[in-house]
Amino acid sequence: MNTPPLPLPDLTGKVALITGANTGIGRVTARELARHGARVFLAGLSRERTQPVLDEIRSWPTLMPGSHGSSAGPQVGQAEWLPLDLGDLHSVKACVQAFLSLGFPLHILVNNAGLAGARGLSASGFEKVFGVNHMGHFLLTQLLLPKLKATASAYGSARVVTVASRAHRKAQAWNWEALQQPTRTLTGIQEYGVSKLANIWFSAELGRRLQGTGVTSYALHPGVVATEVWRAVPLPFRHLLKLRGMITPEEGARTSLFCATSAQCAHETGLYYDLCRPVLPTPLGQNPSLARALWERSEQWVQPYL
């Protein structure tokens, strides 16, 4: 499948923070935002693993070609690394403090990093995948909300994009106790579905709570993408996933980039997207009472870090 690049607006002067941007769709998202002028902060575990992305962005000419190659396009943005371990809420707070100390606005936050198939507990005491995919991003967003609101007030808008998944369909029920217990299943796929359902609830509730602030919220399914999110899934099951047909990171990043930049969805908030258009999650994913309850419990859990 040869999908053409998604046309993006000139993002010169915009600032974006992307988690898990050293590989996969996060790398493509960071690269394309920078290519169109944004200053990008790549938040992740390893500077060493992020360095190739930084080097790629920094190697580009100052001005990229225009849309027809005849004149200069947007000025290429800059790229910087921020240390971040989403499973450790102390690390999340330190990452935010490091970003805020630089004094930049924040136009785009992309909660992209994801983990599937890992087992056990996160460093902060949550089921491993839930702790990374939901709790880390919940605290990150909470701590950045004042900056996002201030940016929206000064510049007209800001966006929070959360990469969820169609795998939320695997979550047929909700068990509060399991969220603070070690992973129960062998593959961790069930827990991954729970974490992705949490992403959808979080994004919807965030959209409701930020109505009128100029900050909009988006959740999305990127497609089943051949990335390192599956690295912890036991090897035989990884082979089965590949047989089902995975798409490339470039194809998978299209909906993230659409939600982060497109004028078509600028006034939409709290919705769930697939193939660059709003779709309905499962009936459980549309439950506002559970979304609100998850938000309230998550607030209690992160209170020591606020």
pLDDT tens across 180-202, in order?
Answer: 999 999 999 999 999 999 999 99
Distances (CA, A) of 24 to 2, 15, 20, 238, 288: 17, 21, 8, 16, 31
126, 127, 133, 139: CA torsion to nearest 10: -10
The pLDDT assigned to 72 comes to 57
Q: Which residues of the chain have pLDDT under 50?
A: 1, 67-70, 230, 232, 238, 243
Residue type, 241: L
Report whether 107 contacts 158 (CB < 8 A): yes
Task: Write out the catalytic residue numbers.
Answer: 192
Distances (CA, A) of 43 to 39, 47, 154: 13, 9, 24
Instruction: List Cβ neighbours of 290 (8 Å cut-off, separation of 6 or more).
Output: 174, 201, 284
- pTM summary value: 0.91
The pLDDT assigned to 6 comes to 81
Pairing outcome for strands 108-111 and 158-163: parallel
The pLDDT assigned to 64 comes to 62
Helix axes 137-155, 288-302, angle to 10 degrees: 100
The pLDDT assigned to 1 comes to 44
* Domain residue spans of the chain: 15-305
Half-sphere exposure for 189 (CA within 13 Å, toward CB): 12
Helix/strand/coil for 80: strand
Distances (CA, A) of 161 to 60, 170, 290: 26, 22, 20
Mean pLDDT of the chain: 91
The pLDDT assigned to 228 comes to 52
**Highest CATH level, class, for 15-305:** alpha beta
The pLDDT assigned to 227 comes to 52
Report whether 36 contacts 74 (CB < 8 A): yes
Q: Which of 131, 106, 109 is nearest to 120 (CA)?
A: 131
The pLDDT assigned to 246 comes to 72
